[in-house]
Amino acid sequence: MLKLHVNIDHVATLRQARRGIEPDPVAWARAVEGGGADGITCHLRKDRRHIQDTDLVALRKAVTTLLNLEVSLDEEMVGLALASGADEICIVPENRQEITTEGGLDAIAERGRLAEAVPRFRERGMPVSLFVDPEPDQLEVARALNVEFVELHTGSYANASEGALEEELERLRGGARCAHELGLRVNAGHGLSYDNVQGVLDLPHLEELNIGHSIVSRAVFCGVETAVRDMLRRMGRTVA
Ligand code: PXP
C-alpha cells in the first residue's frame, strides 16, 4: 500500500505571515491524521521561515502516526534533529534564497558531511532518507552511506512540459529501480498534486509520497480531512 505523508510547513508559513498563533500547524497535523494520512512531514529550516522549534516539540507530542523531519546538514539542524525524537529524518539541501527546496541533495558533494551525520542518526535508531534526484551516481553514494531510504525528487516531473513528461517519468522509474537494486527503500515527493500524482503511482518499489502544497491549497476550500481523503483516493486507496 502506497503511503501518504503530508507536509504541513505551508500551514506554518501562513501563521508566520502574521507572526501569530493561527493557523496552528499542530492542530492541522491532527486533522491530517483524522483524514487518514499515514504520517506528518515538516521541515525545520535554518531561517525558521515556517516551522519553529516549539512546533517540533509540540508535533512530537501530538503526532500519533509517524513524524518525518526534514533538515539540512547544518550542524545546528542536525543537533536539533537528533534531539527531536522524530521517527524518520530526511536530509535535504537548503539555500537561503530559495522559495522551496529546489533540487535534490548533492550527495556526492556532501559525502563528507553525510558520512559524519548519518551514523549519528543510526546510533539513535533514527532511519535516514536522502532527498535526491533520481540519478544512479547519487543513489550509489546513498547506498555507500548506509541510509535506509531515498526520497526521489519529483520536482522536474511536476514542472515538465507535456512533451517532457514521459522522459521525466522514465528517469524516476530508472531511479526507483536502481535504488531498489542497491538495497534502498524508495519514497518520492515535491510538487505533486491532485492532477499529476497519477503519473508516479506506478513507480516501482515506491513506498511513500510526501505531498504538501497541493493538499494545503485544496484544504483552504474544502477542509483538511476532505483534502487528505481526496488525495488518498487519487492514490488508489480505499477511503471510508
Ligand atoms: N519532499 C521534500 C523533501 C520537500 O522538501 C518538500 C517541500 O517542503 C516536499 C516533499 C513537499 O513538496 P510540496 O509542498 O511541493 O508537495
Q: Helices 165-181 and 136-144 meet at what angle, rounded to 10?
A: 30
pLDDT in tens, 15-66: 999 999 999 999 999 999 999 999 999 999 999 999 999 999 999 999 999 9
- Given a cut of 70, whether residue 100 has pLDDT beyond it is no
Gyration radius from the chain CA atoms: 17
Residues in the chain, overall count: 240
For residue 23, give the 3-state DSSP assignment: coil
pLDDT score, position 240: 78
Side chain identity at 174, as an amino acid letter?
Answer: G
- Domain 3-234 is of which CATH architecture? Alpha-Beta Barrel (3.20)
The domain ranges of the chain are: 3-234
- C-beta 153 within 6 A of ligand 1: no
Q: Tell me, yes or no, if 22 is annotated catalytic.
A: no
pLDDT score, position 101: 66
Mutate to test the pocket of ligand 1, among 51, 70, 215, 217 (most ligand atoms within 8 A of CB): 70
- Given a cut of 80, whether residue 8 has pLDDT beyond it is yes
> pLDDT exceeding 70 applies to what percent of the chain?
98
pLDDT score, position 95: 78
- Given a cut of 80, whether residue 102 has pLDDT beyond it is no
pLDDT in tens, 108-120: 999 999 999 999 9
- Encode burial over 81-99: b for 16+ CB neighbours within 10 A, e otherwise: bbebebbbbbbbbbeeeee
- C-beta 129 within 6 A of ligand 1: no
pLDDT in tens, 191-228: 999 999 999 999 999 999 999 999 999 999 999 999 99
Query: What is d(CA 210, CA 192) in angstroms, rounded to the nearest whole number?
Result: 8
pLDDT score, position 54: 98
Mutate to test the pocket of ligand 1, among 32, 71, 101 (most ligand atoms within 8 A of CB): 101
Q: How confident is the model at residue 103 (pLDDT cuts 50, 70, 90)?
A: confident
- Among the residues of 85-182, which ranges form H helices? 111-123, 136-144, 155-159, 165-181
- 23 preceded by a cis bond (ω within 30 of 0): yes
Calculate the alpha carbon distances from 98 to 13, 124, 157, 180, 214 in Å: 14, 31, 19, 31, 19
**Mean of the per-residue pLDDT values of the chain:** 96
